[in-house]
Amino acid sequence: MAVEGIQTATNDAAKCAEIKRAKATVRDRLEAGYDGRHPPFGMQFDDDGQYWVPGEEFSTALEVIDLRDVDHSYWTLEGRTGVPYSTVRRIVECRGRYLSAEENLQLSLQNDAFEGSTDTPRHNFSVSNRDRPLSSMSRCGLSGSCIIVSCQSARDAIAVMVTHGAMCVCLTPW
């Protein structure tokens, strides 16, 4: 009985120390300007583990926002996207976070497309028509990191780029 009491006290002390270390780590990350919590739906930490960037489900989060903008209910959004009601609500409440991430990603991709040496073929990232149907993807052959795709929207093109690790997307008319 006494041994169990000592083990419990030791475990409690270890757990308290672990909690203090975790709180200090989060505080240090926030003070350094990094994101300190678990990334929201559709986001992930960047390669350095510092900031949230669009992840594999980012296009789904943008789809939720688009559908909500045309007055679909949260329940309808859950049925159409497969995203749970509570997550749909959080996405809609934090829409600015997603739209900012989308804008930052577009700017980053544009910068990547225009930077580099003159002997390396580069492609412009541009999506002007939001009404293009989504079609199959293929590589353009000029660089291994470029994908040719027709998309419904700029958001779809960005999602393709994020999901497939492309540096740019060459858009084809449909």
Q: How far apart are CA 167 and CA 164, in angstroms?
A: 9
What confidence tier does 82 reach under pLDDT thresholds 50, 70, 90?
very high
pLDDT in tens, 26-77: 788 777 777 767 889 999 988 888 888 888 899 899 999 989 988 899 999 9
Give the number of other CB atoms < 10 A from CB of residue 39. 15
Give helix 74-81 / helix 58-69 axis angle, nearest 10°. 140
pTM listed for this prediction? 0.52
Per-residue H/E/C for the chain: CHHHHHHHHHHHHHHHHHHHHHHHHHHHHHHCCCCCCCCCCCEEECCCCCCEEECCCHHHHHHHHHHHHCCCCHHHHHHHHCCCHHHHHHHHHCHHHHHHHHHHHHHHHHHHHHCCCCCCCCCCCCCCCCCCCCCCCEECCCCCCEEEECCCCHHHHHHHHHHHCCCEEEECCC
141 has a pLDDT exceeding 60: no
Which of 12-21, 81-90, 154-163 is the most confident on average? Answer: 81-90
- 85-130 confidence digits (pLDDT tens): 999 999 999 888 888 888 877 777 766 655 554 443 333 333 333 3
pLDDT band at residue 136 under the 50/70/90 scheme: very low
Q: Is 43 exposed, middle or buried (0-12, 13-18, 19+ CB in 10 A)?
A: buried
